[in-house]
Amino acid sequence: MTYMTQALILALIAAVMAIPAFFIFNKMPEAWLQDYDFDPKAENVRWAKRLKPFHIGIFAVIYAIVVFLSAYIYPDFLNFNNWVRVLALLISFPAFTIIIMSDTLNRIIPDHMIVLNIAFSVLYFICDFAVGNIWIDAGKPWYYFILNRVIAAIAGSGLLLLVGLISSAIAKTEAMGMGDVKLLFLCGLLSGLKGLIFVIFIAFVSAAVVAVPMLIRKRRRIAAEEKAIRESPDPAKARKILAKKKREMHFADDPDYLAFGPFLVLGTVIFLLYEPYFLEIFNRYFGTVAGAL
């Protein structure tokens, strides 16, 4: 089988793996897509948004492209001979799709999807022992492979929790949800300690790219609101109405809220697909320091 044929088959399988997310997401209990204090009998309850077919179409195309490129550029890394790695990667796509869309649409990361992919992460541990880990020398003791992923999970989630607590204390509001902390635990299990550096880097850089236009839009909206208040016949009343509207807005509909979960998933998937490239980058810029340590 040629590299091209293998890459095309893997791309097709990756595209198909987006489909289960549609049915799982739309059949999930409402409580899974709501905050912990959700009360279905509450006044003005906001029901969770669900997936549309075009959402899955977009994910199918993206998955097909990124998997094809990985399998074609690094055929020795992602191929049918290394079927455990292929299975570990592709089987995580449905839950990752649900995490991205749930956090985007409802500002909630379902714990069940994180637990599911944590269970699937066992395949990466198996892959480390069966095939090896390109980040760890083959001569290292067996427990290196386990500690590599476990320490990354604990360190990553702990660091994000600390950042969230500090940011919340400064901003006087919740700056980082526990769903992100749990998600980074999963990301650390999948990426390993050195890989987590790239996962976090990709997540924060991509989030910043999205955050800048959002900030510009927010400033323009605030300016427009202030102008409307000034031009109102009763500015004081207009300001109270606007404040009441903002208080009654569900947090999931806040236009100024940036869900971080999708960017963590993006960083993780990109890393897992292109590990050889990131290993090359790491060795080029940090290899001497890492070797000394």
Query: In Å, how far are 168, 258, 286 from 252, measured between CA atoms?
Result: 18, 10, 40
Cα separation of 156 and 148, whole Å? 12
Phi-psi domain of 113 (left: phi exceeds 0; alpha: psi -120 through 50; beta: other): alpha
> Over pLDDT 90: what percentage of the chain?
69
pLDDT value of residue 288: 60
pLDDT value of residue 174: 63
pLDDT value of residue 95: 97
Mean pLDDT computed over every residue of the chain: 91
Cα 133–chain centre separation: 23
Going by C-alpha positions, the residue among 230, 252, 250, 251 that lies closest to residue 239 is: 230
In this prediction, residues 92-115 reach a mean pLDDT of 96
pLDDT band at residue 44 using 50, 70 and 90 as cut-offs = confident
In this prediction, residues 6-25 reach a mean pLDDT of 96
- pLDDT score of 249 more than 90: no
Q: Model confidence over 131-190: pLDDT tens digits?
A: 889 999 888 899 999 999 999 999 999 988 888 788 777 766 665 678 899 999 999 999
Cα separation of 179 and 200, whole Å? 16
Give the N- to C-terminal CA distance of the chain in Å, as an integer: 42
- pLDDT score of 2 more than 90: no
Better-scored residue on pLDDT, 174 or 41:
41
Going by C-alpha positions, the residue among 68, 148, 56 that lies closest to residue 93 is: 56
Cα separation of 228 and 235, whole Å? 9
- Domain residue ranges in the chain: 3-36+44-292
pLDDT value of residue 293: 46
38-42, 231-235, 280-284: which is most confident = 280-284
Kindly report the pTM of this predicted structure.
0.92
Sign of the Cα pseudo-torsion (209, 213, 214, 215, in order): positive
Q: Model confidence over 57-95: pLDDT tens digits?
A: 999 999 999 999 999 999 999 999 999 999 999 999 999
